[in-house]
Amino acid sequence: MDMKEYSHIHLTTFDRGPRPSNAGPHKKTTSGLPILLILVMVIALLAPAGCSGRDPATPVDAAEVLRSAIEPMKIASSFHFSYAVTKPQGSKPPQGTEIVSIVGDVSLEGSMKATVDLNQSGVPLQFQFVATEDIHYVQNPTSQKWQSVPADLSPIGRINLSSGAVQILEQVRHAKYISTKKIGGVMCYEVEGSVAATDIADIVASANATTDLHCVIWIGVDDRLLHRIQLTGAAEVDEDPRVLRTIELSRFDEPLVIEVPQ
């Protein structure tokens, strides 16, 4: 409940002065105290409806929350995302190409335009990127020219955040409700569980480990959309099990046009 809604209410005390000696029988007047009590009661009655639509005493079914987000995510026409990989101190330096972060937009059919940051054998690289179902387009950071490559040969692999998010929702095991909190200004249910590394292949194209990753998922209380995923663990064989992957989703269903570079 936002108390600013009541900022226009003021309680004023009037000085009535000395009571005349010839005043009639004393009449009971309303003091400020009952008014305050009434105001407090009104706020208390309105607070549950204004702050969230759920009775705090009602337990949250984590599995149901996950299921309820599947269909809204399938039909979302677009969304903005950020994807970041955080490696712990002391982890082995990359021997090839590793994704550091991707920030961009995704359409319903899975097309994507983004800015990609890579670490190639210790050398940081950044480039613009457009992906369709079968062809990926990479802008050379030096010449600014675009080059098309098959998705299987793409520097970030065959990635589809739209279907990947849905697959995680469908495959989470041992789901447990943790709390309700705001993520990016949206009240969300926080649910944790585990997911097999092979079940995140649409997000981590090189995922080939046989272990599970710990996952924490935030789903909107009202919109039932997926707003954040955190995956901790080794997605690839020999990867540090402390690696953290964070995906933030926002700006759902905004108009989006992804043009194929010429």
Q: What is the pLDDT of residue 115?
A: 97
pLDDT of 56-95, one tens digit each? 557 899 999 999 999 999 999 999 999 999 999 888 877 7
Distances, alpha carbon 39 to alpha carbons 42, 45, 71, 157, 223, in Å: 5, 10, 42, 60, 31
The domain 62-250 is placed in CATH, from the list 3.40.190.10, 1.10.645.10, 3.10.350.10, 2.50.20.20, at 2.50.20.20
Determine the Cα–Cα distance for residues 142 and 159; give it in Å rounded to an integer: 24
Order the strands of the 78-86 sheet from edge to edge.
146-150, 135-139, 123-131, 112-120, 97-107, 78-86, 244-250, 226-232, 212-220, 186-196, 173-183
* Predicted TM-score (pTM) of this structure: 0.77
Identity of the residue numbered 154: S
Within the chain, residue ranges assigned H as helices are 32-51, 62-75, 161-171
Q: What is the pLDDT of residue 21?
A: 45
Q: Which residues face 183 on adjacent strands? A: 186
Determine the Cα–Cα distance for residues 90 and 99; give it in Å rounded to an integer: 18
pLDDT of 157-196, one tens digit each? 888 899 999 999 999 999 999 999 999 999 999 999 999 9
Non-local (6+) Cβ contacts of 132 within 8 A are 111, 260
Non-local (6+) Cβ contacts of 47 within 8 A are 1
Whether the CA torsion 207, 95, 135, 160 is positive or negative: it is positive
Residue 199 has phi, psi (to 5 degrees) of -85, -5
Domain boundaries, the chain: 62-250
Question: Does residue 37 have a pLDDT over 80?
Answer: no
The mean pLDDT value for 124-152 works out to 92
Closest CA to 102 of 120, 114, 119, 86: 114
The mean pLDDT value for 121-144 works out to 91
Determine the Cα–Cα distance for residues 75 and 203; give it in Å rounded to an integer: 18
Q: What angle do CA 83, 88, 91 make, to 5 degrees?
A: 115
Closest CA to 208 of 200, 217, 216: 200
